[in-house]
Chains A and B, each alone.
Chain A
Amino acid sequence: QVWLVESGGGLVKPGGSLRLSCAASGFTFTDHYMSWIRQAPGKGLEWISYISSSGRYTYYAESVKGRFTISRDNAKNSLYLQMNSLTAEDTAVYYCARDGDGDHLDSWGQGSLVTVSS
């Protein structure tokens, strides 16, 4: 069974930084592209970043480009999201999700809440 468990969320001040982690198990992590998607309180889903299986290729939404960095450690079966220069608009639940074989976002974690407030 696929397990994705996010951690690292919390309260951070505007302008601050935070690093989210996503621990993967139950599948061959190195075979799958991975994404981060977020959901602001009471709002819809917003895809924010994507990384290839090797980690060589990364993609970002315009809303986070230049501030967020996606990475992965395949030896640790882990996905990361480094978030810098945070603003109140980044307050959201952040989900990691896995791409399937030839399709997208087939499995999601439970999410990690990030609150940006002074």
Chain B
Amino acid sequence: DVVMTQSPLSLPVTLGQPASISCRSNQSLVYSDGNAYLNWFQQRPGQSPRRLIYKVSNRDSGVPDRFSGSGSGTDFTLKISRVEAEDVGMYYCMQGTHWPPFTFGPGTKVDIK
């Protein structure tokens, strides 16, 4: 199974400042079609997960443009250009290239300093 790791696991941020979360896989996530099936999910406290980014860098409908995804191969990053209060919660990366199983990272907790 593909192992996903994230860093940091906890990220205190200042409102209005940028934030960055790293996600790494133990093997390349590039599929035979050339895509890397790497998603990012946000889970606000008490809510179900919501997908933010799919295939590394594509923002889902309704996701603010302060969220961006980048990376390739085994190294990926989620960036928030200016953190807002509503961004508090857990962030998970997930690979959908080598399945089953789909595998998630351990999560990064984002909160306000």
Residues of A within 8 A of B (CB): 35, 37, 44-47, 50, 59-62, 95, 100, 103-111
Given contacts A103-B55, A106-B60, A108-B50, contact A44 B102 (CB under 8 A): no
Report the nearest B residue to A109, measured CB to CB: B48
Chain A proximity of B103: nearest CB distance (Å) = 7
User: Residue B92 contacts which of A45, A103, A106, A107 (CB distance < 8 angstroms)?
Assistant: A45
Among B21-29, B80-88, B93-101, the stretch that binds chain A is B93-101
Q: Which residues of A contact B101 (CB under 8 A)?
A: 47, 59, 61-62
Given A104-B102, A105-B94, 19 extra CB contacts under 8 A: A37-B49, A44-B104, A44-B106, A45-B49, A45-B104, A47-B101, A47-B104, A59-B100, A60-B100, A62-B101, A100-B54, A103-B39, A103-B54, A106-B51, A106-B54, A106-B60, A108-B49, A108-B50, A111-B48
B67 on the A face (CB < 8 A): no
Bound together, the chains give a CA A37 to CA B92 distance in angstroms of: 13
Check A105–B39 contact: CB distance below 8 A: yes
Bound together, the chains give a CA A111 to CA B100 distance in angstroms of: 22
Q: List 26 A-B residue pairs with CB atoms under 8 Å apart, sorted by A's residue number.
A: A35-B102, A37-B49, A44-B90, A44-B92, A44-B105, A44-B106, A45-B49, A45-B94, A45-B104, A47-B94, A47-B101, A50-B99, A50-B102, A59-B100, A59-B101, A62-B101, A103-B55, A103-B58, A104-B94, A104-B102, A105-B39, A105-B96, A105-B102, A107-B51, A108-B49, A110-B48
Bound together, the chains give a CA A45 to CA B60 distance in angstroms of: 20
Q: Which residues of B contact A107 (CB under 8 A)?
A: 51
Bound together, the chains give a CA A49 to CA B81 distance in angstroms of: 35
B41 on the A face (CB < 8 A): yes
Q: Which residues of A contact B51 (CB under 8 A)?
A: 105-108
Chain A proximity of B33: nearest CB distance (Å) = 9
Bound together, the chains give a CA A54 to CA B90 distance in angstroms of: 33
Bound together, the chains give a CA A46 to CA B107 distance in angstroms of: 11
Bound together, the chains give a CA A106 to CA B53 distance in angstroms of: 9
